[in-house]
Structure 1
Amino acid sequence: MVLEELIRLFERDIKRMKVEIDAYSKEENLWKVDQKITNSAGNLCLHLIGNMSYFVGKEIGGFDYIRDREFEFSGKNVPKSELIEMMEKLENVATASLEGLDECMLEKDYPLEVFGGKMSHTYFLIHLFGHFSYHLGQINYHRRILDK
């Protein structure tokens, strides 16, 4: 039951991220920063894709993925069409990974100690959802402020 709801929430917000990224009127604005907004929408998008692909796709779903966290924040000018393609792949991988997770695993320990200690799959998936939503909101504000 909880797993189905998490799947729906992640699918919803990945779709929302695609809409946000696609809504940029000028592709170069995806990569804009200023003195108070230091992470571009493009980099936040790359970060969310990397984060979910690694922690859900690789660690839960067993999909091959090599994370380049440095590029998530330093990479520039990835075409909008490529970002959208990456998000579509993420949606498929995240959904398949979570659908493949047995509900009884939710209370068992997540395989990595991300925060320096053990935590359940449920705890970490809720954390990942909050993390995703937080950065999705930042992308929305970035677009409304810097996409002029």
Structure 2
Amino acid sequence: MAHPEPTDACPCGQLNVRQKPLAYADCCGRYVAHFDTTPAPDAPSLMRSRYTAFVCEQADYLQATWHPSTRPAALDFDPGTKWLGLAVRSHRATGADRAEVEFVARYRVGGRAVRLHETSRFVREGGRWFYVDGDIRG
């Protein structure tokens, strides 16, 4: 999937105070498109923007927001994947510059529904949050 239009609903599913979907440009789009100047302000925002980057197959953003200690050399996207939604279950600070975010991402691949339930770990370095790793839950 290409980048959504700025006024399209953000793929992460974040809602505004009126319970309407936030526009891509007002939600994850500002982080994905402008990582150098507009980093995600907290771990939950980075989690959502990384989900959006997976939906839009934005490997450059995913690599840039992955901590160098655990970042893979390359990312491959399954062309048959259709992302269906994200639910952030919880988030908590685990230190001054560390946090965890529990989420469930749903997608379909090859006609099969998949549910990815993970608790992800994030670290803030130099004022920017990075994904470190996560534990997949059953």
Q: TM-score scaled by structure 2?
A: 0.26
Greater Cα radius of gyration, structure 1 or 2 = 1
Q: TM-score scaled by structure 1?
A: 0.25
More strand by share: 2
